[in-house]
């Protein structure tokens, strides 16, 4: 399994390979993002695009961003989507950990569906808080 940090100048070439995964990731933002918004964020924000692939398939992607809090620096996983996650999760996590350490990050953080706790249970995941939303009527 190959995990590649994509150069920003190559994003437009890579987007067609992950288009269905971008749409899938956007679906789970519950109206906050469309696939095009995720693409635009990658193009204009200081974010990183990681892609999992082998000789025959593109399996998924992760969007990260280095964020400096007042006391620590963290690598935020903004979006993750793909197929056959068990096939590429460990390789991706290794690359993200190495990248985070290289950039003096103290943690990798993310938010998402509760099911992610099962995915990362053997990787040292600790649930710190859960995000809840109370919709307001217009």
Kindly list the domain boundaries of the chain, sorted by start residue.
Answer: 2-123
pLDDT attached to residue 109: 87
Global pTM value: 0.85
List, for residues 14-29, the tens digit of each pLDDT value: 999 999 999 999 998 8
2-123: CATH topology is: Aminopeptidase (3.40.630)
List, for residues 49-105, the tens digit of each pLDDT value: 999 999 999 999 999 999 999 999 999 999 999 999 999 989 999 999 999 999 999
DSSP the chain: -EEEEEPGGGHHHHHHHHHHHHHHHHHTTTTS--HHHHHHHHHHSSEEEEEEE-SS-EEEEEEEEEEE-SS-EEEEEEEEEES-HHHHHHHHHHHHHHHHHHTT-SEEEE---TTHHHHTGGGT--------------
116 or 110: which carries more pLDDT confidence?
110
131 or 10: which carries more pLDDT confidence?
10
Query: Looking up tokens 């249970």, which residue turns up?
Result: 121
């Amino acid at each position: 399994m190959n995990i590649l940090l994509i150069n920003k100048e190559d994003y437009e070439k890579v987007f067609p390979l992950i288009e269905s995964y971008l749409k899938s990731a956007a679906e789970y933002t519950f109206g906050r993002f469309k696939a095009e918004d995720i693409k635009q964020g990658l193009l204009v924000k200081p974010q990183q695009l990681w892609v999992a692939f082998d000789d025959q398939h593109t399996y998924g992607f992760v969007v990260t961003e280095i964020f400096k809090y007042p006391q620590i620096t963290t690598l935020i996983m903004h979006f993750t989507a793909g197929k056959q996650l068990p096939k590429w999760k460990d390789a991706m996590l290794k690359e993200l950990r190495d990248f985070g350490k290289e950039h003096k990050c103290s943690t990798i953080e993310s938010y998402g569906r509760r099911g992610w706790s099962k995915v990362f249970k053997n990787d040292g995941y600790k649930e710190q808080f859960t995000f809840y939303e109370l919709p307001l009527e217009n």
